[in-house]
């Protein structure tokens, strides 16, 4: 059965291994989540499990959202997310999934929304090099030539230019689970994960994990 859960990023710290090595970890408050819906090839064209995370007052949801939970007499949840699975067997509506589905040593993929950085120039946004600062140069942090003159006479779509940076869906793969605290619903993974403190994260078993 595939492993997955929703959580919130609490921040980063460091822990010591039994060998005395310092390991940087991200602390995630993971779950518990409730199975709200299961999707199958016969009814939806694909197999997935939809889960809800974090209790919320019913008045905070709109009427269609309230209907989803009222249909199965479930406690309303703030967040609803789907996880693709190969088989929905073993998942039942109303079932609670806790952080203890993961174990120390597991590999996970973590998906979140990256921090917003506002309107950024080409150097910050795309890693361009700046122009020279001396000898009468009037080109420092500009974008550079955008296109040819008469031919092609236009700027092609996809050109790397200044613009809004961040607030994108980002996935970091193959992170090691360092510790699981089932009493406090905490998951410690090695390294950094996308987003700011308090941001919603989707954690699932790594797709490319080495056997």
Structure confidence by residue, pLDDT tens digits, 57-88: 988 888 888 888 888 888 888 999 999 988 88
Does residue 43 share a domain with residue 123? Answer: no
pLDDT at 211 over 60: no
Let me know if 115 is exposed, middle or buried by CB neighbors in 10 A (0-12, 13-18, 19+). middle
Residue 117 has pLDDT above 60, yes or no: yes
Give the global pTM. 0.82
In this structure, the number of other CB atoms found within 10 A of the CB of residue 3 comes to 16
Nearest to 2 by CA among 206, 186, 185: 206
In the three-class reduction of DSSP (H, G, I as helix; E, B as strand; rest coil), residue 119 is classed as strand
Q: CA 178, CA 104: separation in Å to the nearest integer?
A: 5
Cα separation, 204 vs 6, in Å, equals 9
Note the Cα 22 to chain centre separation in Å.
25
Same domain for 133 and 96: no
What pLDDT sits at residue 203? 94
Domain boundaries, position 32: 4-118+170-205
- Do both 112 and 38 map to the same domain? yes
- Number of folded domains that form the chain: 2
63 with 104, same domain: the answer is yes
Q: pLDDT tens across 11-38, in order?
A: 999 999 888 899 999 999 997 999 998 8
């Amino acid at each position: 059965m595939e492993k997955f859960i929703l959580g919130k990023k609490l921040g980063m710290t460091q822990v010591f291994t039994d060998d005395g090595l310092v390991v940087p970890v991200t602390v995630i408050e993971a779950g518990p989540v409730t199975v709200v819906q299961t999707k199958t090839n016969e009814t939806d064209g694909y197999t997935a499990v939809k889960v809800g995370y974090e209790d919320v007052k019913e008045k905070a949801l709109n009427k269609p959202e309230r209907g989803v939970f009222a249909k199965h007499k479930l406690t309303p949840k703030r967040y609803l997310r789907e996880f693709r699975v190969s088989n929905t067997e073993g998942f039942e509506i109303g079932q609670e999934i806790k952080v203890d589905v993961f174990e120390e040593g597991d590999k996970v993929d973590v998906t979140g929304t990256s921090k917003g950085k506002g309107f950024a120039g080409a150097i910050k946004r795309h890693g361009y090099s700046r122009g020279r600062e001396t000898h009468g140069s009037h080109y420092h942090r500009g974008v550079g030539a955008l296109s040819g003159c008469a031919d092609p006479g236009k700027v092609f779509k996809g050109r790397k230019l200044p613009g809004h940076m961040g607030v994108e869906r980002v996935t970091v793969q193959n992170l090691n689970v360092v510790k699981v605290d089932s009493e406090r619903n905490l998951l410690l993974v090695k390294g950094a994960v996308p987003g700011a403190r308090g941001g919603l994260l989707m954690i699932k078993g790594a797709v490319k994990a080495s056997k």
